[in-house]
Structure 1
Amino acid sequence: MAGWGQSGTGGHGARLTIDLGALASNWRTLAALAPGAECAAVIKADAYGCGTGRAGPALWRAGCRTFFVAHLSEALAARAALPEAAIYVLNGLPPGAAGAFAAADLRPVLGSLDEVAEWAAFSQGARPAALHVDTGMNRLGLRVPEALALSGDPRLAAAGLDLVMSHFVSAERPEDPVNARQIADFARVRAALPGLRGSLANSSGIFLGGARHDLVRPGYALFGGNPTPGRPNPMRPVVRLEAAIVQVREVEAGASVGYNGRWTAPGRRRLATLSLGYADGLPRSLSGRGHALVDGVACPILGLVSMDLIILDVTDAPAARRGASAVLIGDGLDVDAVGKAAGTIGYEILTGLGSRYVRDYDG
């Protein structure tokens, strides 16, 4: 692995390491939980910040054959990395885009009657697509009555549908009654549209009874996020983020730190500066709330997170010195914990990891 300041650190003393072996292992774990279903992979947002060009082929080698992305641009990048895969585009068919989808052998997830009509007129049954039914999100998809009314509609055959899907509102909270309502509504739609494969379960949905159907489509869990909040994480960590300390200094009582002097030293303290910040995906909301690990010691983030710099209190970390490593994700400090400290979720942390990192890949 490259040393600090070499190509593997992006030139700013930080290193983002992606464990492709753990990624593949997580896919196999989730596939085993749904033995009667195909296990796809959601690799939108550049594979949750991990890099579609490396994460996609690693999942393919593990046995994954179907992938989901959000946008046409993401699908084109995925196609370049996965020439033989089935690739669905979750955010639907933009007006006039059918030709671009067909040229790259991509499958739109049709989310409105207008999209169904446009794809049917273009495809004439020759190219597959999915139908998105809204069972509670009120975001994308046909409403349940619209989907039921399609039963026997000739546009279904012309649209080449091979999959009907919906999306859970609250799968990470098994006790939420909305889950049972969505499962029941989805069952009604499937009964009205026989012959189509069904997909409802996202990462957390795989752990709900009655939700796996013919195809499950995990995303966040593949990349190490916990699909069962409040319970032990069954996934292996995939992402590790560490940064080199670029400077260490001592300050006396009363010295302020960072913009606007938001933190003041209560006594003599030892501070370390890291060369990364909110431009690299470490949210400003971690100011005064998050921490990093230096030789296993939790070192609080002081003052405001800057665009390119973070300051730690390393008074209790004797190993802290110029060039030493501070871990921001990894060694037990998982992405969900970082998200919680930032007042957000681990998804946002992963997908926000910036372009200044060079991704190093293990496995």
Structure 2
Amino acid sequence: MTRPARALLKWSNLRHNYRIARQRTRHEAYAVIKADGYGHGMTACADALAGEADGFAVACVDEAVRLRDAGIRQPILVLEGAMEPAEWQLASRYHLQLAIHHPQQLRDRAAVVFDEAVAVWLKINSGMNRLGVRFSDAPEMIARIRNDQGLILRHVMSHFSSSDEADTACYEAQKTRMLGQAWPVPLSLSNSASVLRGGVEGERVLRPGIMLYGSSPLEGVTAREAGLRPVMTLQSALISTHSVPAGESVGYGGSWTATRETRVGVVAIGYGDGYPRHAPAGTPVNVAGVRCPLIGRVSMDMITVDITDAPEACIGSPVELWGELVDIDEVAALAGTISYELYCRLTPRVPRTNLQ
């Protein structure tokens, strides 16, 4: 018999969230499905959005080639661009669009010959100081691209460093810097947080990521308030129950001690499955329809939950760790991380079950 831990993936919710991105601004939207679709399955995400997405965005050429080999025919943008000359040839062969963020990438391109021109997006460093060319270098980079018969400059892009924060001063400053230039091609600026703020007037292509999976990127705004629906529901079941008298401790290190006669439920899930090891006591877990608190330390294969106030709970009762009943953003915040990491760290031993 297999362990009961599993991830249910509701693709109708992915499509719903993508439509919200499109409806907020009416612009084109490249669905960001890098990192194996934020842990949801990259190819499955692409298949689910195949009839709706204007294009897809991934991190690297390898991810893009996997999508092409799986039969995905929409435009695919590689956000990190080519990392070596051979990847330029792959981009031409597989009709991939590449971000250019450094002069070295153009030097690599000059070292190879390919048959079909490659569409490129020039990435500008507007304040994040991660990838991108500076404004002062942009005219030369644009000229080099446009003078290369093997390249087609499709868009100018940038990435916001703080569009998710309640204080929008940095976000507004980055927008102003990008909109204050006369660019020769349309802009692509908005990530999920910017999309939910209404996008940027004058841009052409959005790049929604985390919002597609049903998590809110906005500080102080829940996914439900943003109209988003969770795509992934992480489930398991109780595999044991027992009582612990007041004064006794539960789990490694005895970090949690019962203050009353406590009924304890043991759930088959742990950090070996991707549940956050640093989730503290009190983290919500839904057991048999009742919100119950995590108690004790998270183990590799199990967690313990106070089910005293869920009298119907018994061995085999269903447990939700996050999804429809438990907001993953709340779990992530209590564990000192973000939902992106929780989605991406879900391990292969948790089977994914695809729903409509």
- TM, length-normalised to structure 1: 0.90
In the other structure, the counterpart of 1:293 is 286
Structure 2: segments with no counterpart, 5+ residues: none
In the other structure, the counterpart of 1:33 is 24
One-letter code aligned to 1:40: Y
Aligned partner of residue 280 in structure 1, secondary structure: coil
Corresponding position: 1:218 with 2:208: yes
Q: Distance in 1 between matches of 2:146 and 2:110?
A: 6
Match of 1:165 among 154, 157, 181: 157
Corresponding position: 1:103 with 2:93: yes
Shift of 1:234: 1.7
Q: Distance in 1 between matches of 2:316 and 2:191?
A: 41
Assess, with a 3 A threshold, how the Cα gap between structure 1 residues 279 and 95 changes in structure 2: closer, same or farther: same
In the other structure, the counterpart of 1:112 is 102
In the other structure, the counterpart of 1:278 is 271
State the superposition RMSD in angstroms.
2.0
In the other structure, the counterpart of 1:150 is 141
Corresponding position: 1:80 with 2:69: yes
User: Are the equivalent residues in 2 in contact too, given 1:52–1:81 (CA < 8 A)?
Assistant: no
Counting only pairs closer than 5 Å after superposition, residues 52-91 of structure 1 correspond to structure 2 as 52-61=42-51, 63-91=52-80
Match of 1:314 among 307, 316, 320: 307
Shift of 1:218: 0.3
Assess, with a 3 A threshold, how the Cα gap between structure 1 residues 175 and 120 changes in structure 2: closer, same or farther: farther
In the other structure, the counterpart of 1:47 is 37
Q: Distance in 2 between matches of 1:156 and 1:108?
A: 17
Q: Distance in 2 between matches of 1:151 and 1:347?
A: 33
Q: Distance in 1 between matches of 2:241 and 2:20?
A: 43
Shift of 1:94: 0.8
Aligned partner of residue 150 in structure 1, secondary structure: helix
Shift of 1:207: 3.2
Q: How many residue pairs align between the two structures? A: 349
Q: Distance in 1 between matches of 2:220 and 2:196?
A: 13
Aligned partner of residue 285 in structure 1, secondary structure: coil
Shift of 1:154: 5.5
Q: Distance in 1 between matches of 2:199 and 2:11?
A: 30
Higher mean displacement: 174-183 or 308-317: 174-183
Q: Distance in 2 between matches of 1:119 and 1:129?
A: 12
Higher mean displacement: 78-87 or 138-147: 78-87
- TM, length-normalised to structure 2: 0.91
Shift of 1:102: 2.9
Q: Distance in 1 between matches of 2:352 and 2:140?
A: 48
Shift of 1:254: 2.9
Q: Distance in 2 between matches of 1:316 and 1:210?
A: 45
Identity of aligned residues (%): 34
Q: Distance in 1 between matches of 2:343 and 2:40?
A: 8
Higher mean displacement: 282-291 or 77-86: 77-86
User: Are the equivalent residues in 2 in contact too, given 1:227–1:233 (CA < 8 A)?
Assistant: no
Aligned partner of residue 279 in structure 1, secondary structure: coil
Q: Distance in 1 between matches of 2:110 and 2:178?
A: 23
User: Are the equivalent residues in 1 in contact too, given 2:146–2:153 (CA < 8 A)?
Assistant: no
Assess, with a 3 A threshold, how the Cα gap between structure 1 residues 289 and 141 changes in structure 2: closer, same or farther: farther
User: Are the equivalent residues in 1 in contact too, given 2:256–2:296 (CA < 8 A)?
Assistant: yes
Structure 1: segments with no counterpart, 5+ residues: 6-10
Q: Distance in 1 between matches of 2:160 and 2:147?
A: 24
Assess, with a 3 A threshold, how the Cα gap between structure 1 residues 41 and 137 changes in structure 2: closer, same or farther: same
Deviations for 1:52-86, whole angstroms, at most 9, x for unmatched residues? 1211111112x113110112222222223343111
Deviations for 1:214-263, whole angstroms, at most 9, x for unmatched residues? 10010100110114332322212211111111111112233221111211
In the other structure, the counterpart of 2:168 is 176
Shift of 1:123: 6.0
Q: Distance in 2 between matches of 1:81 and 1:186?
A: 36
Q: Distance in 2 between matches of 1:167 and 1:76?
A: 24
One-letter code aligned to 2:95: D
One-letter code aligned to 1:273: V
